[in-house]
Structure 1
Amino acid sequence: MKLQRLLGITMLLLSRKRIGAQELADRFEVSLRTIYRDIEAINDAGVPVASFAGMDGGYEIMDEFRIERQIVTLDDLSSIVTALKGMQSTLQDQQLDHLLAKINALFAKSEQHRIEEAGEQLIIGMSPWTRVDTDKDKLAELRQAAKNRNVVWLTYLSPEGEAEERAVEPIGLAWKGSAWYLYAYCRLRKDFRTFKLSRIRKLRVDMEVFPRRKERLVDLDAKWGRWKMGPYITMVLRFHPRVRVRVEECFGPEQMTVEEDGSLLVRSELPIDSWLYGLLLSYGPDVHVLEPKFLAEEISGQARRIAELYGQFP
């Protein structure tokens, strides 16, 4: 256990500029005294860990230090290659090609033979089924703009299809669910926003360089969650048995109960917005909204308007 903790601390220090003793103690669920002893042991093993006092104090490994290939197992390298191949399938980045070549060069010939014999057990696909090639161009331009801190002008569509010009300061890109999103500071809204790439109709990278902001991509990703969506409501829905697979995929079996007639009763909490209306309408007559009443009335009204559009009602 101690050896695993020492290795974990070392790898964490290698991946971070500086980290405090209390954070290490919390992460590994040990006392501060244990962390102090662990740092001494890591230093004694030849890993140069420097300590810093003060408000921004903590531990960090000297910049010149690097780990040897032997500490990374064949399975570790294989996992890295699999993840990079998944990214490369969408990004088509020449730097990723070079990185893959470097990592593959770390495999011994005997290991390469073992990998070829075993074959692929995992493929990570980061491209939606309906992907268009123009998304690759958007990804490349926005990644470069975020790297160089260039202001980007966007023509962006709202969910209702209204186009709006935005000047944004790109922070980075994120793959969420089944789509790419740009994380950026919007000068129009004067706040950070997400922009779905499929809704970006035009973009132009400006020569203006914006000052680096303190918010990082990982910070924004951790911050954005439920509060970025509309208000949540608790729903009670009854589904026909024939859509059970879809219901399980969408809501999860833990939110379902099967009634005596085979109907599926779902109690769930979701944000109330146009996405929810579209989801429920996609089930057609196979879903009955029991609660809340206003949601049932909204779905009924939208269904009636659809029927009127096709001349089913006078």
Structure 2
Amino acid sequence: MKVDRLLSIVIMLLNKKRITAKALADYFEVSIRTIQRDIEAINMAGIPIVSYRGQYGGYGLLENYKIDKNFLSDSEHKLLMVALEGINKAYEDKDLKNIIEKLTSIRSNNCSLNDSKILMDFSPWGFSQSLKNKIESIKKAIAEKKIAKFNYVDLNGKSTEREVEPGLIALKLNRWYLHGFCRLRQDFRLFKLTRIRDLVITDELFETKKNIPKLNFTFPSEEIKIKLKFDRRSLSKIDNYFDLESLNFNSDGYIYVTVSYPEDEWVYGMILSFGDWVEVIDPPHIKEIIKDKAKRIFEKYEKS
């Protein structure tokens, strides 16, 4: 949209001393002539932009032209910038960068992110280029309302071909998800991006469904209460799964935890990941499942 581009140009000029027409054209993916017309429009609106020639030439705002910096306090501005920078590490988006540019332009001289006591980084560990490419492809499919085709691998390792009308992408606990209407299941589904294979964005268009259900990250099955007994050596790892406030440091030297989870392979894997530092106290059937899995692991290595 032209108005958004004009505002973005002004903000970029507020944040930089000078910038060339080519740099602006490349950033907004328009022609240099379009940028020149934009500059003329901005000047006509009363914002003084000057054209400089020579090696360090380009467009710049008239010296001493300022924007009001008082509608956000330094602490409010700093917290907002820290949050946006953290999001930007996980989700690179031009609109988000424009917002950061705008907020940078109204930063007071006393406001610096270097002395912030809060750091936010929403990017997952080992953020891969392939995951980034998936996010970009799905973003484009959502914007253009195009069908996404892919193979989806479920928790049991079974792969199925899906055709999905993508609705949104979501970041939850450093994990990316696609929410959309699955034609195979004839319902809205949530897909974990790391389980999506052979993603193709087709040229087939779709119409947005009415009464789209609000995305709600809830457990897909009924929860069960599990009581676990941990060796104290597990403390270096236990806080990856449980709050310290929920731990019961018993006088017998062990740590007890009671939690509610949906019963699935993730729960079994989480328990097994602690090795001999954990014991299932309750319920009995979970105890038997872990015992059986541990036995099969032992037998596999005993044969090798």
TM-score (norm 1): 0.69
Q: For the structure 1 residues 103 and 248, does the alpha-carbon distance in structure 2 shift closer, same or farther, using more than 3 Å as the test?
A: closer
1:186 and 1:170 mapped to 2: Cα distance? 9
SS of 2:203 mapped into structure 1: strand
1:155 and 1:275 mapped to 2: Cα distance? 21
2:114 and 2:184 mapped to 1: Cα distance? 53
Counterpart residue type for residue 147 of structure 2: V
5+ residue gaps, structure 2: 1-67
Q: Deviations over 1:211-256 (max 9, x none)?
A: 122356xx623x3413x2x321111211111113433442223433
Conserved in 2, the CA contact under 8 Å of 1:91 and 1:140? Answer: no
Tell whether 2:121 aligns with 1:125: yes
Conserved in 1, the CA contact under 8 Å of 2:162 and 2:182? Answer: yes
1:74 and 1:209 mapped to 2: Cα distance? 46
Q: Which residue of 2 aligns with 1:143?
A: 139
Q: Percent identity of the aligned residues?
A: 29
Per the TM alignment, residue 289 of structure 1 is displaced from its structure 2 partner at its CA by 0.8
SS of 2:133 mapped into structure 1: helix
Q: Which residue of 1 aligns with 2:259?
A: 268
Q: For the structure 1 residues 258 and 91, does the alpha-carbon distance in structure 2 shift closer, same or farther, using more than 3 Å as the test?
A: closer
1:117 and 1:225 mapped to 2: Cα distance? 35
Q: Which residue of 1 aligns with 2:214?
A: 220
Q: Which residue of 1 aligns with 2:62?
A: none
1:284 and 1:170 mapped to 2: Cα distance? 40
Q: Which residue of 1 aligns with 2:173?
A: 177
Give 1 or 2: higher helix fraction: 1
1:96 and 1:237 mapped to 2: Cα distance? 43
Q: Which residue of 1 aligns with 2:185?
A: 189
Q: Which residue of 1 aligns with 2:277?
A: 286
2:136 and 2:223 mapped to 1: Cα distance? 35
Query: Which structure has the higher relative contact order (CA within 8 Å, separation 6+)?
Result: 2
SS of 2:302 mapped into structure 1: coil
Conserved in 1, the CA contact under 8 Å of 2:78 and 2:112? Answer: no
Per the TM alignment, residue 141 of structure 1 is displaced from its structure 2 partner at its CA by 1.0
Q: 1:243 aligns with which of 227, 234, 239?
A: 234
Q: Which runs of 4+ in 1 moved over 4 A?
A: none
Counterpart residue type for residue 85 of structure 2: K
Conserved in 2, the CA contact under 8 Å of 1:169 and 1:184? Answer: yes
TM-score (norm 2): 0.71
SS of 2:241 mapped into structure 1: helix
Counterpart residue type for residue 170 of structure 1: P
1:187 and 1:270 mapped to 2: Cα distance? 30
Conserved in 1, the CA contact under 8 Å of 2:151 and 2:198? Answer: yes
Per the TM alignment, residue 124 of structure 1 is displaced from its structure 2 partner at its CA by 2.1
Q: Which residue of 2 aligns with 1:90?
A: 90
Alpha carbon RMSD of aligned pairs, Å?
2.3
How many aligned residue pairs are there? 237
2:241 and 2:262 mapped to 1: Cα distance? 14
Counterpart residue type for residue 287 of structure 1: V
Q: For the structure 1 residues 274 and 73, does the alpha-carbon distance in structure 2 shift closer, same or farther, using more than 3 Å as the test?
A: same
2:103 and 2:71 mapped to 1: Cα distance? 14
Counterpart residue type for residue 83 of structure 1: A
1:130 and 1:121 mapped to 2: Cα distance? 25
5+ residue gaps, structure 1: 1-67
1:265 and 1:188 mapped to 2: Cα distance? 43
1:72 and 1:200 mapped to 2: Cα distance? 42
